[in-house]
Structure 1
Amino acid sequence: MSKFDDLLKQLGTGVWNVFVVVAMCYWIPQITSQSMGAAFMTPELDHSCRPPPDALEDPRGATSFQCEYNATVSEGSVEERACTRWDYDNSTFTNTLTSEFNLVCGRSYLRAAYKSVYFLGGMIGAMLNGWLSDRFGRKTMLVVGSVTYSLLANILSWLPNFSVILALRFWMGLMHPTSIHAGYTLAMEVNQPKHRAATGILIFLPWAFCDIALGGYGYLLRDWRWLSFTLSLPALLFLPALWFIDESPRWLIVRGRYDDAMLVLRRAERLNKVELPPEEELRTLMEYIKKEALVEGRAGEASTPGFIDALKVIAKEVTVLVKTRRMRSITLSFYAQFVVLGMVYYGISFGADKLGVNPFVYMAVNGVVEIPSGTVTIPLVDRLGRRLSCTLSFVITAGSLMVLGFIPSGLNWLVIVMALMGKLGISIAYQVVFLYACELFPTEVRVRGLGTSTILAKAGAMVAPFILEILGNVKSWLPLVLFGVAAFLAGVVTFWLPESLTAPMMDTVAELEAAYGAKDTRDATDEHQMEQPNETTRDQA
């Protein structure tokens, strides 16, 4: 146990650190409502062309999804023209972005863009958040991320221009991982080691409960502007809590800001009603903690490189991930799995309008199936091991989604059951794969391996809405069947990974190559004397 963890043990658990966890438990649903609520903002609606006066009457009658009309031109000839105004089916939603900005026909791709641009911002944010958090501090980035996100969410609700809405969605996506990563890291760094596993689960548990509530709330409020605005308002209530949250004392110590760290520790001592050592002893301990961080290879927190230098470091670290044979096999396998995880998870979540099911029930039940995924994972991986658990969860996802192509029309209940079994499978897979990757990536490249994998998960999430939009217009079940095929391939890829249940966690790439018998044992560690960030976390959203 590190000296800082010993210090946390002396501080114990009380108001000071519990407040951070409770605050993050409140913040996570604010993120969920905006990222998952997009399903209610841009649904696919039945629509028919509202023809102008010069249009000829269609002898076949008006049809849904009509994009052209026939008009009489000079000399009695007939010309087909693009429709510019439509009548929408408002039986499910009274007002949406789809109907207000005519996101149909030639503009239908903008429905997918509304969802994807958020994940594009999230992908870029995932690249930057570790560096930003190490350079400027956990609380600073939590403040920047949450304040910016809250203000943009409330402004977006009343914008009259769709291009500006897309721009704000991008910036909200950028702030999504920024606020979550900083807040999660802060919560981990102020809690005792024995409580960190429970803290990690507790912080993200409200995501599932918010999905459930979102289904009911969307049913009650079906105008996108009022839905968006009322979902955004609670985020403003989080902002006063930032005043009472302290900067991570560990980050302050490693950065050499001992006076600031002392003030934080004394406040924690007072709030938790404990007694810490005298100031002289604490300052000696701080010096030791800073040296400990340097020895453990986390000097980057003490002297964070500039942005360009940080990009060069990342490039070198990624090279190490694919330089040797066994490390390359593990890295590429996890990269493929994380792309599938992001794509399938959000593809299922946004697939209600393509399946023709009630979107509100679908959203609520989506949240319900996420709750057991957290409780099932731990006994599953302990009994079956990582590789078999991973394969099994992907196969369950694949089987549930691929069968959708064979379900007769009218059996909506069976469609929902199969889709949600797929959601349960991919939710379990998400947790198993993340644990699996934590154990297989050696210590010297673990942070960068997980970080780049998270970026690829965001890339998968970014393409999911376009797959739903494009393939869903061919056959409504085709996108989810494709997601099922992708999940099956991800399960196959798992066979390239070694079991890690009873194996020790490796510290270097050289140890991994030797342990798993790779022929190419070139030592990548000689070139890998670089700085490592402190924390990495699964970013859900």
Structure 2
Amino acid sequence: MFPNKNSYISCNDGWVFDQGLLLSTIASKWNLVCKKSWMVRLTSTIYMFGRFFGAISCGVLSDKIGRKYTVIIYLFFKIGGGFLATYAPNYPLFCIGRYIIAIGTTGSNLAAYVYLSEITGKSYRAAIGVTWQMLFAFGYATLPGIAFFLRDHVRLQLVITAPAIILFGYFFFMDESPRWLISQGRFEEAKQIVEKIATINRKQLPEDLNFSHPASDDKEKVMETRKGTVKDILVYPNLRKKTLILCFIWFTCSLMYYGLSLNIGTIAGSIYLNTFLLGIVEVPALTLGIYLMGRVGRKPTVASACLFAGLSGFILIPLILTDAPSASRTAMSILGKASISMAFAAIYVYTVELMPTGVRNVGIGFTSMNARIAGMAAPYVGGQLSDIWKPFPTTIFGVFATGTGILTLLLPETLNKTLPETIEEGESFGKKVKKSQVEDITGKQAEANLKLEEKY
């Protein structure tokens, strides 16, 4: 039905590269053309595989040794990988460097994001979380300008690595997450940090606030929080349902986001201008996301953003088939990118709020690793599948985004809700507890779960 149009030939007479746009790329440095052209996309896949490993390892490490040390460890990976990729004498070492960069980038970002959410009040979580993503958008939009003036991938890699070196020095000023310390029973350390925060903010702590001698019920709560593992978010039925839906949302957001971003060269027009537009369009999208998340909630924001992204994908199909003007196709691609960017930013906040403290980093690591799986496929879905049928990639984007928008409606709302602490609270959150079920849960924990559900 769809003939295979892919074929590769040898370049026996060499290759002359057009240096009008870029003076040096990995393709020109190692002659990755003709039968080696697939190796260019392979670097993106390897990078995403590194992000996949970073997401898995970060969750376990962060919940074990804390948010602070996890951020620093992964920043070290990012810096080391950056220098290796910059000065790599051959293609394999360059790929290894990119793989290490990806591990460090994902690990430090996820741990820092969880840290930020745990020291932020519930009324500010959405704004802080999406503002975090907005900084990414500004970096995205700035990058093509830097690349335009440098026009060399070696110097560009050095510029990208520099911020990680600066952030590495933040270790000496960064405190551990008080919420994580409490989950580990380290109450005195948590109290000192909270007092420090209150002093900086010129606030007075309640006189009856006591971290050192929690009530017996709170001690049990701490012990339950410390027992959380990946197994817990998959064994308990309600947590499992929420986790699997979140996994699919992460997968779809990443597939469409990176499918458009990594294949920007296939969009008509200047690669520098198009990259800038795909980056800067996220700023108004994320600004709207902050407003919607605070006004209508997390669930409607994610669902509507995904549905709108899916709609843009379907609209692109006839535009591609009829060879519509490039401006209309570019505009619709940018619109789809803006929508999926809003969903991508919101799902960070949503995932953190749905996961209990003891498995929060594990949970966001486990769900976000699906984004890395999608990221590995994105260069091929957004690129080579168009050789089979031109609208194939955008059709896939439309189907996945629409399905994700519908699935999101099955999740509970978290707007202005207190973050669940224990596995039990996470399991009962968003689930109607019947009186007949209460008898199956022992002791005071059953009563606590019922009260929690009645409250929400």
TM-score of the alignment, normalized to the shorter chain, above 0.5: yes
Q: CA deviation at 1:385?
A: 6.3
CA distance in 1, matches of 2:374, 2:299: 22
Unaligned runs of 5+ in 1: 1-64, 69-80, 305-309, 530-541
CA distance in 2, matches of 1:361, 1:253: 48
- Residue 220 to residue 460, structure 1, CA distance change in 2 (3 Å): same
Q: Tell me if the contact between 1:340 and 1:457 (Cα under 8 Å) persists in the aligned partners.
A: yes
Q: CA deviation at 1:213?
A: 1.0
Q: Which residue of 2 aligns with 1:315?
A: 231
Q: Tell me if the contact between 2:129 and 2:349 (Cα under 8 Å) persists in the aligned partners.
A: no
Does residue 289 of structure 2 align to residue 377 of structure 1? yes
Q: CA deviation at 1:522?
A: 12
1:49-448 residue pairs with structure 2 within 5 A?
67-68=8-9, 83=12, 85-190=14-119, 195-249=124-178, 251-252=180-181, 255=184, 285-288=210-213, 294-297=219-222, 301=226, 313-321=229-237, 330-380=242-292, 389-407=301-319, 409=323, 411-433=325-347
Which amino acid is 1:366 matched to?
L
Q: CA deviation at 1:317?
A: 3.4
Q: Tell me if the contact between 2:234 and 2:240 (Cα under 8 Å) persists in the aligned partners.
A: no
1:18-29 residue pairs with structure 2 within 5 A?
none
Q: Tell me if the contact between 2:126 and 2:294 (Cα under 8 Å) persists in the aligned partners.
A: no
Does residue 382 of structure 2 align to residue 468 of structure 1? yes
Unaligned runs of 5+ in 2: 1-5, 446-456
- 1:91-137 deviation per Cα after TM superposition (whole angstroms, max 9, x unaligned): 32221112212223332232222112222122222222232123223
CA distance in 1, matches of 2:439, 2:275: 49
- 1:264-293 deviation per Cα after TM superposition (whole angstroms, max 9, x unaligned): 67876876678889xxx99x9332359776
DSSP 3-state at the match of 2:32? coil
CA distance in 1, matches of 2:136, 2:48: 17
Q: CA deviation at 1:421?
A: 0.4
DSSP 3-state at the match of 2:89? coil
Q: CA deviation at 1:463?
A: 1.2
Q: Tell me if the contact between 1:256 and 1:290 (Cα under 8 Å) persists in the aligned partners.
A: no
DSSP 3-state at the match of 1:88? coil
CA distance in 1, matches of 2:97, 2:183: 35
- Residue 203 to residue 397, structure 1, CA distance change in 2 (3 Å): closer
DSSP 3-state at the match of 2:143? helix
CA distance in 1, matches of 2:301, 2:196: 45
Which amino acid is 1:375 matched to?
T
- 1:404-448 deviation per Cα after TM superposition (whole angstroms, max 9, x unaligned): 343355722222211110011112223455566667778998776
DSSP 3-state at the match of 2:151? coil
- 1:446-474 deviation per Cα after TM superposition (whole angstroms, max 9, x unaligned): 77655432221221122111223421444
Which of 415-424 and 485-494 deviates more? 485-494
- 1:383-405 deviation per Cα after TM superposition (whole angstroms, max 9, x unaligned): 66666554432232123233334
Aligned residues: 430
- 1:351-398 deviation per Cα after TM superposition (whole angstroms, max 9, x unaligned): 211223322111211222211222323544576666655443223212
- 1:299-357 deviation per Cα after TM superposition (whole angstroms, max 9, x unaligned): 555xx8xxxxx8xx423531324xxxx76655544332321111111111122112233
Q: Which residue of 2 aligns with 1:21?
A: none
Which amino acid is 1:129 matched to?
C
CA distance in 1, matches of 2:297, 2:52: 31
DSSP 3-state at the match of 2:212? helix
Q: CA deviation at 1:163?
A: 0.8
CA distance in 2, matches of 1:319, 1:294: 24
CA distance in 2, matches of 1:91, 1:523: 74
Q: Which residue of 1 aligns with 2:3?
A: none
TM-score, length basis structure 2: 0.77
Q: Which residue of 1 aligns with 2:450?
A: none
Does residue 367 of structure 2 align to residue 453 of structure 1? yes
- Residue 508 to residue 219, structure 1, CA distance change in 2 (3 Å): closer
DSSP 3-state at the match of 2:213? helix
- Residue 502 to residue 346, structure 1, CA distance change in 2 (3 Å): closer
DSSP 3-state at the match of 2:372? helix
Question: Is the radius of gyration larger for structure 1 or structure 2?
Answer: 1
Which of 497-506 and 230-239 deviates more? 497-506
CA distance in 2, matches of 1:443, 1:246: 18
Q: Tell me if the contact between 2:251 and 2:371 (Cα under 8 Å) persists in the aligned partners.
A: yes
Q: RMSD over aligned Cα, in angstroms?
A: 4.2
CA distance in 1, matches of 2:153, 2:187: 49
CA distance in 2, matches of 1:124, 1:523: 42
DSSP 3-state at the match of 2:334? helix
DSSP 3-state at the match of 2:175? coil
DSSP 3-state at the match of 2:231? helix
CA distance in 2, matches of 1:275, 1:328: 40
CA distance in 1, matches of 2:369, 2:45: 14
CA distance in 2, matches of 1:249, 1:316: 23
